[in-house]
Amino acid sequence: MKKQIKNLIKNFIFILLIFLIISGLFSLFFQPFEKEIELSLTQVVEEINQGKIKKITVSGNELLILRQDGEKAKSFKEVEAALSQSLLNYGVEKEKLKEVEIETKEKGGIWVWLGPMAIFLFPLLLFVLFFFFIFKQARKGAGQAFSFLKAPAKLFGQGKQKGKKVTFKDVADLKEAKQELQEVVDFLKNPKKYLKMGARIPRGVLLVGPPGTGKTLLARAIANESGVPFFSIAGSAFVELFVGVGSSRVRNLFETAKKQAPSLIFIDELDAIGKIRMPGIGGGHEEREQTLNQILAEMDGFEKDTNVIILSATNRPEMLDPALLRPGRFDRTIVLDLPDVRGREAILKIHCRGKPSALDVNLKEIAERTPGFSGADIANLVNEAAILAATRNKTQIYQGELLESIEKVLLGPERKSHLLSGKEKEICAFHEAGHALISASLPEAEEVRKVSIVARGMVAGYTLALPKREKRIKTKSEFLAELVILLGGYCSEKLRFKEISTGASNDLEKASLLARRLVTKYGMSKLGPMSFGKRETLPFLNWEQETERNYSEKIASAIDKETERFIKEAETKATKLLKQKRKILERIAQILIKKETIEKEEFERLIGEKERQPAKTQEKALPKKQKSLKVKIKGI
């Protein structure tokens, strides 16, 4: 950018200089035309005798006359005759002649021949300067067009990275992923050890996982740990408007990496160019597919033992072309999952480095309160706590700032200007009290940590419930308990006010979706162990959509009835529990109206420890892929 600005200033000065030269030449040789009166010598004599002439300038035989009134005129004298003598001969009075200033000006010199020559050379000079400027710009444009086909990859490693260097020690948790990548680093550093055993260097390593789990951070760490040239580029940087640029940039990138082998190439967001090739209008001539084909050829073509390893990251692996994922191209796929409670505590310790923390800071409690948080979420949490402490003019970060930052990251900042009326505040209080009381009454439910009717983000109130122990699977009884809790706010409003409000709309939407999944996806209904409908899912982005209905109208009717049954049973159970504990419900709601927030300890005192019965069975965690476990928030 600085170079472009410098060139722009340079060109501007060059054009300005040409303009000044042209202006000077015009002012020198092309004087503005002034109309002059031509007098005969007799008329000059008469005006001298009348005292009208002030000055006469003699230039050869030409007389330049300046009158007393400022007007100019010209005349001509006799050849080879002196002006004074000619005037006396024509009858000028001697006394009047003395009053006139006579000046003799030599005509000729260098300007006699330089003037006509300049008039001839000036257009030629202007023509040469113009073409010189055009040629210079064309040459620069040709250079830019050539660099346009080069891959805009950034080179790291070998002292190229500025600032603090990230190593594997700066990456908390992710033990298995770091071990896999350390093997790649060791292969680059000590290739002979593996070649003796006949081992082949992995051609590609693919990092997959939800956003914020540390895929790019691991790439930065391996760039510093390996000690070899590391080229980093985004997938979207290959594809441009013009056809053929993407494949050209791929060739250029791999050629550069091969020249500096052993080396690493990191392609972030690989799904931008690695999507599945599908038959369509563009066919194989589409620019993105041309780029993908070139990557496939470079990764595993006829050329072997290039000592170039490809490292890529994506959160949509199911969208990638199968040809990319086969052995010989991406030999290893490393899954980075959301951290567990120990991992979150370790990540918190890393992000709290260099920040003044108070003695009351309990990172274990913060880790327990943040299930489902990614590494990026935790980094944001600590940063928000530091900002909050600085805003309050504190010199240290206290536990209160960290706990408040959890809610800020989850729901948004407090909306203190969003004041509820007395009636709205009462409805919100009973709604949240219903969620909290039912959560405390069901053994399969999660533990209530906080109940609040302080508006945050888009919610007017919320109940913060956290699992006692993180689980990788959920049972039918836990799903049914979640349904009852979701309907707790709705039933509480109906029980207290004999009518319902719009505050339960989000809860009803979640409950309806969960009940339908119990029937169509999990096989937990009377219809038996069957799954209905084809779905398109992005597991790392928590996105799912039914794309095809592969069942009859009769089955659709049965699905609707089963969904309705789950909802009705949950509503009945929620209403029954709230009627049994109506006094406690009233007590919780009244304290919420008064204080707006109830913490865990005070809530347990209100309901009494005996309200929550221990669960009869303890589910064991199965060795299954962990799903995104988010903090459960029931809000109005």
Decide if 416 is inside a domain: no
How far is Cα of residue 388 from the mean position of the Cα atoms in its chain? 24
Last residue of a domain, one of 384, 410, 436: 410
- Does 612 share its domain with 501? yes
Decide if 415 is inside a domain: no
- Does 124 share its domain with 96? no
- Does 571 share its domain with 525? yes
**Angle ∠(531,566,462) on CA atoms, nearest 5:** 110
Q: How confident is the model at residue 625 (pLDDT cuts 50, 70, 90)?
A: very low
Question: What stretch of H or E contains 63?
Answer: strand 62-67
- Does 322 share its domain with 462? no
Last residue of a domain, one of 410, 436, 456: 410
Share of the chain above pLDDT 90, in %: 15
- Does 242 share its domain with 306? yes
Judged against a pLDDT cut of 80, whether residue 57 lies above it is answered with no
- Does 456 share its domain with 348? no
- Does 445 share its domain with 536? yes
The residue segments making up the domain with residue 404 are: 341-410
- Does 378 share its domain with 478? no
Closest CA to 355 of 325, 388, 377: 388
- Does 311 share its domain with 180? yes
Decide if 191 is inside a domain: yes
Decide if 173 is inside a domain: yes
- Does 326 share its domain with 367? no
Q: How confident is the model at residue 81 (pLDDT cuts 50, 70, 90)?
A: low
Judged against a pLDDT cut of 50, whether residue 616 lies above it is answered with no
Go through the chain and tell me how many residues it has: 636
User: Using DSSP, how many helices (H) and how many strands (E) does the chain show?
Assistant: 22, 17
Q: Give the C-alpha separation, 485 to 465, whole Å.
A: 11
Give the mean pLDDT of 355-373: 87
- Does 144 share its domain with 159? no
Q: How confident is the model at residue 618 (pLDDT cuts 50, 70, 90)?
A: very low
Q: What is the pLDDT of residue 433?
A: 92
Q: What is the pLDDT of residue 8?
A: 61
Last residue of a domain, one of 388, 410, 432: 410
Q: Which has more confidence, 31 or 221?
A: 221
Q: Please give the structure tokens belonging to residue 167.
A: 């190593």
Judged against a pLDDT cut of 60, whether residue 158 lies above it is answered with no
Decide if 179 is inside a domain: yes
Q: What is the pLDDT of residue 579?
A: 92
Q: What is the pLDDT of residue 500?
A: 87
- Total domains in the chain come to 5
Decide if 443 is inside a domain: yes
Decide if 43 is inside a domain: yes
Q: Give the C-alpha separation, 321 to 292, whole Å.
A: 9
* DSSP-assigned beta bridge partners for residue 268: 234, 313
Q: Please give the structure tokens belonging to residue 603.
A: 């809530």
Decide if 250 is inside a domain: yes
Q: How confident is the model at residue 565 (pLDDT cuts 50, 70, 90)?
A: very high
Judged against a pLDDT cut of 80, whether residue 268 lies above it is answered with yes
How far is Cα of residue 177 from the mean position of the Cα atoms in its chain? 26
Please provide the average confidence, as pLDDT, over all residues in the chain: 77
Q: Which has more confidence, 301 or 590?
A: 590
Q: What is the pLDDT of residue 485?
A: 93
Here the CATH number for the domain that contains residue 379 is 1.10.8.60
Q: Is 413 helix (H, G, I), strand (E, B) or coil?
A: coil
Residues taking part in catalysis = 432
Give pLDDT tens digits for 454-476.
888 778 888 888 877 777 788 99
- Does 586 share its domain with 508? yes
Judged against a pLDDT cut of 60, whether residue 533 lies above it is answered with yes
